[in-house]
Amino acid sequence: MKLNLILLLFIFFSKFSFAAEKTVDTNLIHKNLRCLVCQGQSISDSNSDFAQTIKLVVKDLIDEGKTEDEIYEFMSEKYGDWIVFKPQFNTQNSLLWILPYIVLIFGGFFIFFFLKKRQ
């Protein structure tokens, strides 16, 4: 009886975790893709022809088992980084990603030494 219960729980949780792994948030992807023919709208907000087509392609890519990042990569490859609201890390925008951390570290040091000197 105990063994059966353990097995049942194991199957339930393994299925649950498998489902969680496979879930890709379609809405989130639509929200992070820019409608190139609209003014400042995402694919999610737009009903344009272009947005409808992109939604179909995103659905196909999800059905093929592509991850969220792979979908963004695919779209960037076709339409450039402009299509993604949250750009991927690359050499061109590396400074933008790294700079806040550099400022934080140097700022911390600066404040630390400034306060130390005042004391």
Interface residues with other proteins (CB under 8 A) are 36-37, 49-50, 52-54, 56-57, 60, 77-80, 82, 110, 114, 117
Nearer to other proteins, 21 or 49 (CB): 49
Nearer to other proteins, 18 or 100 (CB): 100
What is the nearest approach in angstroms of other proteins to the Cβ of residue 77?
8
Tell me the HSE value of 115 on the side-chain side, using a 13 A CA sphere: 6
Instruction: Name the helix (H) or strand (E) containing 49.
Output: helix 49-63
What is the nearest approach in angstroms of other proteins to the Cβ of residue 79?
6
Tokens of 23: 């879930």
What is the nearest approach in angstroms of other proteins to the Cβ of residue 1?
53
What's the sign of the alpha-carbon dihedral 95, 101, 106, 110? positive
Instruction: Categorise residue 34: left if φ over 0, alpha if ψ from -120 to 50, beta otherwise.
Output: beta
- SS3 of residue 86 by DSSP: coil
Nearer to other proteins, 6 or 56 (CB): 56
Nearer to other proteins, 40 or 65 (CB): 40
